[in-house]
Amino acid sequence: MGVPAPSLLPARWWGRGVALVVTVCAATLGLLLTGRPDGAIWTGLLVRILTLGTLGLAAVRVPGPLQPVFRRLLVATGTYVAAEVVFVFGTPTLAVMTGVPTAADVLYLLFYPLLWWALRPLGGGRALPLIPQLNILATTLTIVLPLYVLLARQVPGPQQLAWWTGVLYPALDAWVLSTLLALLFSRRRLPLLAVPLVAGIGMIVAGDVAYVALSSREAYSAAHPVTVLWTAAMGAFGLSALRALTATNRPDWIRPAWVTTVVHLGPYAALAVAALTWALVSHGESVENGVFIGIMVLTALLLIRQELLGVRQRRLTARLRSTAQALQDSRRDLWRQLHTDDLTGLPNRRACLDRLDGWLAERPARTDVGVLFLDLDGFKAVNDGYGHAAGDEVLRVVGQRLTGLAQEHDLLPARLSGDEFALVFLGTPERGEALAGLIAALIARPLTLPDGQTLTTAASLGLMHSRVMDDVTTSALLSGADHAMYRVKRDRRAQRAPERPPTRSD
């Protein structure tokens, strides 16, 4: 029993979903700013319930390779929501300040590998090269370095473990976001659902950095307005599922050229976040600030140098690719000139010899290779009676008719010289005789010259096959077919004299 096709939501549901998330998040922020945290908790919970429901629907109804993505994303988001519930309702004081990590910390940290596992297929399943991985590591360290400096300088020993746990959040945020961007923007076409996912992870990054900075000043609480960032992030995850469920004429987003430039600016954004974090947690201590500013300036110079080297490398790579493509085109054009007859477009003598050499080398027994040699009857009379332009037209038409036989890979028609043609083939002598009859019928068909005159011509054909030869070589096959053709021509002359030249009909 087949699975029914998924029923996608009408397009208007996308706009309604965006409006709902924006409205609820704005209401949550308003409740927090007006000192009503209980109401904010319930509105935030509403967003999370809607998100989990939408992700669950997408995990069942979205077709194709995106379905596993939403199944995994449902698990990751459910883990994150469970961590929030444990933190809000089960932690009376800040875990960062108690010195002991809680169950909420375990669930929060589990969320990151689950999120990476869920989003990795969006990058096409490809592993990142070494250089992007190093850039991700550098970006992550740049963001969290000020937090670790603060940890080593200010936090008492008993609270060190919980602080290390808390500082892991922005580090993992930066790692997940950078990895996702590197995976997604290595592709030219992206699913539209990637846009709200990237926005959601970005809001989680901002919220976690603010959480650590506020906690260092003992200014964070579950009712702080910064918590609306996590609510908005959950809403963005739900919108990604709604995007996949909503009917649209544009399922993919074609990456603009400026996106690549923005992604390359990632290390600078990391540096800005690090500087902002330091400003929030430093408490105006001038000596340490001066040292840190020097480190930041040095880091900025190194990043600028790295980016300039990257630009130079990309330009050099593009130039090398262009040169390689030009060389490949030149090589292909040269090969065509060396192996193609300019007048008829057929392979020339060199191509014919190469094909025979290859077949004979591939088949040690050499019992299934044949050559048909053909010569146009009375072709000199065509040149003398109608002109060389007419003779060239006859050769072109013969070439076109023989080209139709080349659709099979084990046949190769070729023009050897003048009005002499050959056809090399694989198969039995009987196949060669059948081909000879087919070619004779093709050439005997009337042809029309550019001036409107009609000619009817014929050809003499000779067949030589490897099965009737003791010493099978390329030259022996061609020579044998040539002699066979001349025997046919000689016998015709003996049977009817004089030889009938091409005829003309108006």
Residue 503: what pLDDT? 47
Q: Is residue 238 scored above 70 in pLDDT?
A: yes
Residue 216: what pLDDT? 64
Average pLDDT, the chain: 76
Q: pTM for the complete prediction?
A: 0.50
Q: Is residue 282 scored above 60 in pLDDT?
A: no
Residue 4: what pLDDT? 39
Residue 506: what pLDDT? 39
Residue 312 burial by Cβ neighbours in a 10 Å radius (0-12, 13-18, 19+): exposed
On whether the CB atoms of residues 232 and 226 are closer than 8 A, the answer is: no
Residue 97: what pLDDT? 44
Backbone angles phi, psi at 289, to 5 degrees: -60, -40
Q: Is residue 3 scored above 50 in pLDDT?
A: no
What is the tens place of the pLDDT at every residue in 203-216? Answer: 887 887 777 767 76
Residues 313 and 308: their CA atoms lie apart, in Å, by: 8
pLDDT band at 196 (very low <50, low <70, confident <90, very high): confident
Could you give the percent of the chain with pLDDT greater than 70? 66
> Catalytic site residues?
419
Cβ atoms within 10 A of the Cβ of 198, count?
18
Q: Identify residue 259 by its one-letter amino acid code.
A: V
pLDDT band at 232 (very low <50, low <70, confident <90, very high): very high
Residue 74: what pLDDT? 92
Angle made by CA atoms 260, 18, 197, in degrees to the nearest 5: 40
The b-or-e profile of 438-473 (16+ CB within 10 A means b, else e) is: ebeebbeeebebeeeeebebebbbbbbbbeeeeebe
pLDDT band at 19 (very low <50, low <70, confident <90, very high): very high
Residue 253: which residues within 8 A CB-CB, separation 6 or more? 189, 190, 191, 192, 194, 195
Residue 152: what pLDDT? 53
pLDDT band at 505 (very low <50, low <70, confident <90, very high): very low
Residue 235: what pLDDT? 92
Q: Is residue 81 scored above 50 in pLDDT?
A: yes
Which of 363, 447, 466 is closest to 398 using CA atoms? Answer: 447
Cα dihedral 400/402/406/407 (nearest 10): 60
Backbone angles phi, psi at 34, to 5 degrees: -95, 10
CA-to-CA separations, 275 to 50, 77, 281, 283, 417, in angstroms, rounded: 36, 30, 10, 13, 78
What is the tens place of the pLDDT at every residue in 246-277? Answer: 866 565 656 666 666 666 666 666 666 666 65
